[in-house]
Chain A
Amino acid sequence: MDFAGWEMPVQYKSILEEHRAVRTSVGLFDVSHMGEIVVRGPDAGRFLDHLVTNEIAKIAIGRVVYSPMCREDGGVVDDLLVSRRSEQDYLVCVNASNVERDYAWMRSRADDFDCAVDDQSDRWGLLAVQGPNAPALVQELADRPLDGVRYYHCAEAVVGGVPCLVSRTGYTGEPGYELFCPADETEALAVALEKAGAAHGLALCGLGARDSLRLEAGFSLYGHEISETISPIQAGLEWTVKFAKPAFVGREALLEQKTNGTARRVVFFKTGDRRIVRAGTPVLCAGSVVGEVLSGTLSPMLGEAMGSALIDTARLSDPLSVDLRGQPVALCTTKPPFVPLRKS
């Protein structure tokens, strides 16, 4: 399928098999479509702190931080990962479909800061190796010990002969790495991983498994759980909004939402039924529409439908249901993850 201008596989063989491989052994995802924007200079940290809701300037070199990047009204421009590579050098990884908008947004707010903002998306490839066997596989190909690279940290290493920024992050809830590498060496890295991965039970994974894994782990996806109209406060991501740091874009609106509450909130649900509740399905309470499903698929590990929905806050503790082809199905709201995670 076409995905933000990239030719992307939804699945190689079976979404369910790829999903189970990541939970039980290891999966390899080509996520080179993700964007990389580099921010460098004396004010790079201060600029990023102004731009995003989480705290960046004070993080140690080698740390990675997840953060929404908001508009003044608290709506989300994008969610991103910031890696601090050196004193004045940050790599920002953004969603493929938002690269141009993010870059323009960042450039337009950089005037008062002494730093350069550079879209390097074309120069970087990105492979994600995820699953309980991922650390052993990547270590086997690496030129240095990676045990010291802890969860949400990164370091440089040569993997399979390719120089990489090795990041202990992922989007599946499993142990693993994301490997940023030169775009023209991505294929060589993928071949090395696939070859060595055979002994570790490696499966090639597409967008389908990536979506069911991230939903099972309870991670938000831009355009679903967070968007221009769903703020981090509404999405249950208060932990990513640091009101104590210096002023940042969206601070006033988000503080107002935190103080006074929001009309709608994101919740996660399962149904006890195999029928998938798809995005866009209206959510009902006592016959009236009180929300909408944002993401929904089958949890391959639970064998039941799981999803997320945006619900009127006043109805959160009431019985919620959806209509699936004439049959009411109850939504059991639950705190994610849907399965226990083994982050490290």
Chain B
Amino acid sequence: MNIPSDLLYTREHEWLKVIDDDTALIGITDYAQNSLGDITFVELPKAGRVLKSGATFGVVESVKAASDLYAPVDAVVLECNETAIGAPDSLNRDPYESGWLLRVKLADKGQLSVLLSPVDYAAHTAG
């Protein structure tokens, strides 16, 4: 299973990548896409939507199940990935790059310390 070392993770299998001072990308992990199987539909919020840490912000559907997406931190949506919406299988093929879901503006960088490190996430998924 692929767990890139430059990302932060949630127990609900989202990843967050800080790109500069206060913006970040959010997606689902390799473990998540593998557990879901073929992803068929992605529902994401519009730009401007305020995300609350731990609250649902969208849905990923696969042939097997529909799963809620949970905001890793408080943030405001800057952009959602139209490629992922148009080609949901990009989440299966490339969950950390072309399959990203949201670009967000972080509300409180202090919240990042609550997220899991790659090592902790590896332990979480192993257990």
Chain A: residues with CB nearer than 8 A to chain B? 10-11, 14-16, 208, 212, 274-276, 278, 297-298, 325
The CA of A278 and the CA of B41, in the complex, are separated in Å by 14
B36-48 contact mask (Cβ, 8 Å, vs A): 1 or 0 = 0110110100000
The CA of A297 and the CA of B43, in the complex, are separated in Å by 17
Binds A, one of B4-12, B58-66, B98-106, B116-124: B58-66
Q: Which of B38, B41, B88 contacts A15 (CB 8 A)?
A: B38
The answer to whether B40 touches A298 (Cβ under 8 A) is yes
Given A14-B92, A16-B89, A275 and B41 contact (CB-CB distance below 8 Å): yes
The answer to whether B40 touches A276 (Cβ under 8 A) is yes
Residue of A nearest to B41 (CB): A274
The answer to whether B40 touches A274 (Cβ under 8 A) is yes
CB distance from A276 to the nearest CB of B (A): 6
List of A residues within 8 angstroms of B59 by Cβ: 325
B interface residue count range (under 10 / 10 to 19 / 20 to 34 / 35 or more): 10 to 19
CB distance from A305 to the nearest CB of B (A): 9
The CA of A16 and the CA of B41, in the complex, are separated in Å by 13
The answer to whether B37 touches A15 (Cβ under 8 A) is yes
List of A residues within 8 angstroms of B37 by Cβ: 10-11, 14-15, 208
List of A residues within 8 angstroms of B63 by Cβ: 15-16, 208, 212, 276, 297-298
Q: Which of A16, A275, A278, A325 contacts B38 (CB 8 A)?
A: A16
List of B residues within 8 angstroms of A298 by Cβ: 40-41, 63
Residue of A nearest to B63 (CB): A15
Chain B: residues with CB nearer than 8 A to chain A? 37-38, 40-41, 43, 59, 61, 63-64, 66, 88-89, 92
The CA of A156 and the CA of B66, in the complex, are separated in Å by 45
Q: Which of A10, A11, A276, A297 contacts B66 (CB 8 A)?
A: A276
List of B residues within 8 angstroms of A278 by Cβ: 66
CB pairs A–B below 8 angstroms (7 shown): A14-B92, A16-B40, A208-B64, A274-B61, A274-B88, A275-B61, A276-B63
The answer to whether B92 touches A276 (Cβ under 8 A) is no
CB distance from B78 to the nearest CB of A (A): 24
| Best-buried of B41, B61, B63, B89 by chain A (most CB within 10 Å) | B63
CB distance from A166 to the nearest CB of B (A): 31
The CA of A301 and the CA of B61, in the complex, are separated in Å by 18
List of B residues within 8 angstroms of A208 by Cβ: 37, 63-64
The CA of A325 and the CA of B58, in the complex, are separated in Å by 11
The CA of A325 and the CA of B61, in the complex, are separated in Å by 12
4 closest pairs, A vs B, by CB? A274-B41, A16-B38, A298-B40, A15-B63
Question: With A14-B38, A276-B63, A278-B66 given, can you name 16 additional A-B contacts, CB distance below 8 Å?
Answer: A10-B37, A15-B37, A16-B38, A16-B89, A208-B37, A212-B63, A274-B40, A274-B61, A275-B41, A276-B40, A276-B41, A276-B61, A297-B63, A298-B41, A325-B43, A325-B66
The CA of A14 and the CA of B36, in the complex, are separated in Å by 11
List of B residues within 8 angstroms of A297 by Cβ: 63
List of A residues within 8 angstroms of B92 by Cβ: 14
CB distance from B108 to the nearest CB of A (A): 29
List of A residues within 8 angstroms of B43 by Cβ: 325
The CA of A33 and the CA of B43, in the complex, are separated in Å by 38
The CA of A275 and the CA of B61, in the complex, are separated in Å by 7
List of A residues within 8 angstroms of B88 by Cβ: 274
List of B residues within 8 angstroms of A11 by Cβ: 37-38
The CA of A275 and the CA of B41, in the complex, are separated in Å by 6
List of B residues within 8 angstroms of A276 by Cβ: 40-41, 61, 63, 66
Residue of A nearest to B89 (CB): A16
The CA of A298 and the CA of B63, in the complex, are separated in Å by 7
CB distance from B92 to the nearest CB of A (A): 7
CB distance from A8 to the nearest CB of B (A): 14
List of B residues within 8 angstroms of A274 by Cβ: 40-41, 61, 88
Residue of B nearest to A278 (CB): B66
